[in-house]
Structure 1
Amino acid sequence: MNNQDVDNATQAMRGLFPPTPLQFNEHLSARHGAEIWLKREDLSPVRSYKIRGAFNFFRKVIGQGGADRIFVCASAGNHAQGFAFVCRHFGVKGVVFMPVTTPQQKIDKTRIFGGEFITIRLYGDFFDQCYQAAREHVEATDGVMVPPFDHPDIIEGQATVAAEILEQLPEGAVPDLVVMPVGGGGLSAGMTGYLGGLLSPEAFVFTEPAGAPSLRRSLEKGEVVTLPKVDNFVDGAAVARIGDLNFAVLKAFSPEQVMLMPENAICVTIAEMLNVEGVVLEPAGALSLTAIEAMDREQIKGKRVVAVVSGGNFDFERLPDVKERAMRHAGLKKYFILRLAQRPGALRDFLNLLGPDDDIARFEYLKKSARNFGSILIGIETKHPDNFKQLIGNFEGAGMGFEDITENEILANLII
Structure 2
Amino acid sequence: MSDFQDKARAAAKAMRAVFPETPLLRNAHLSDLYGADIWLKREDLSPVRSYKLRGAFNAMRKRDGLELVVCASAGNHAQGVAFMCRHFGVRGVIFMPVTTPQQKIQKTAMFGGDSVEIRLVGDYFDQCLTAAQDHAKAEGGFFLSPFDDVDVIEGQASVGAEIEAQLGGVPDTLVVPVGGGGLGSGLLGYFGSKPNYTFVEPKGGACLRAALEAGKPVTLDKVNTFADGAAVARIGDVTFERLKDVGLASTLQINEDRLCTTMLDMLNVEGIVLEPAGALSVDALKDMGQMIRGRRVVCITSGGNFDFERLPEVKERAQTYAGLKKYFILRLPQRPGALRGFLDMLGPDDDIARFEYLKKSARNFGSVLIGLETRDPKNFTVLYEKLDAAGFVYTDITEDEVLSNFII
Q: Which residue does 1:13 correspond to in 2?
A: 15
- The structure 1 residue matched to 2:186, chosen from 180, 187, 190, is 190
- Written as runs of structure 1 = structure 2, the 5 A alignment for 1:230-241 is 230-241=223-234
Find 2:45's aligned residue among 36, 43, 46: 43
Alignment correspondent of 1:329: 321
Question: Are 1:175 and 2:171 matched, yes or no?
Answer: yes
Residue in 2 that maps onto 1:24: 26
TM-score (norm 2): 0.97
- Within 5 Å, which residues of 2 pair with 1:393-404? 393-404=385-396
Query: Which amino acid is 1:267 matched to?
Result: C
Equivalent position of 2:334 in the other structure: 342
Contact kept, 8 Å, 1:41 with 1:49, in 2: the verdict is: yes
106, 127, 135: which is aligned to 2:125? 127
1:304 aligns with 2:296: yes
The residue matched to 1:374 in structure 2 has which SS? strand
| Structure 2 CA distance for partners of 1:369 and 1:147, relative to 1, 3 Å | farther
Distance in 1 (CA, whole Å) between partners of 2:127 and 2:36 is 46
Could you tell me how far 1:366 is from its partner in structure 2?
6.1
| Residues 1:51 and 1:340: Cα distance change in structure 2 (over 3 Å) | same
For residues 116 and 252 of structure 1, the distance between their equivalents in structure 2, rounded to whole angstroms, comes to 44
The Cα shift of 1:128 comes to 2.1
Alpha-carbon distance in structure 1 between the residues aligned to 2:345 and 2:332: 13
Report the alpha carbon displacement of residue 381 of structure 1 after superposing the two structures with TM: 0.4
For the 8 Å contact 1:53–1:154, the answer to whether it is kept is yes
**After superposition, where does 1:9-408 map in structure 2 within 5 Å?**
9-61=11-63, 65-67=64-66, 69-169=67-167, 171=168, 173-199=169-195, 203-295=196-288, 297-365=289-357, 368=360, 371-408=363-400
**CA RMSD for the aligned pairs?**
1.4
Q: 1:197 Cα deviation (Å)?
A: 4.6
- Higher mean C-alpha deviation, range 145-154 or range 115-124: 115-124
CA deviations 1:51-110 (Å, max 9, x no partner) are 00000000111xxx223x211111120001000100111111111111222222111111
361-370 vs 32-41, which moves further: 361-370
CA drift of 1:3 comes to 0.9
Question: Which amino acid letter does the alignment assign opposite residue 85 of structure 2?
Answer: C
SS of corresponding position for 1:211 = helix
CA spacing shift, 1:47–1:370, aligned 2, 3 Å: farther
Q: How many equivalent pairs are there?
A: 406
Deviations 1:178-208 (A, max 9, x none): 1111000000000011111533xxx000111
246-255 vs 115-124, greater mean Cα deviation: 115-124
The code of the aligned residue for 1:117 comes to: S
Distance apart, 1:19 and its partner CA: 0.8
Gaps of 5+ in 1: none
Q: Distance in 1 between matches of 2:275 and 2:9?
A: 28
Write the distance in 1 (CA, Å) between the matches of 2:333 and 2:312.
Answer: 32
Question: Shift in Å at residue 256 of structure 1?
Answer: 2.4
Structure 2, unmatched stretches of 5+, are none
Mapped to 1, the partners of 2:171 and 2:85 lie a distance apart of 34
Whether contact under 8 Å (2:334, 2:359) holds in the other structure is no
Preserved contact between residue 234 and residue 263 of structure 1 (Cα < 8 Å): yes
For the 8 Å contact 1:369–1:375, the answer to whether it is kept is no
Q: Write the distance in 2 (CA, Å) between the matches of 1:389 and 1:76.
A: 42
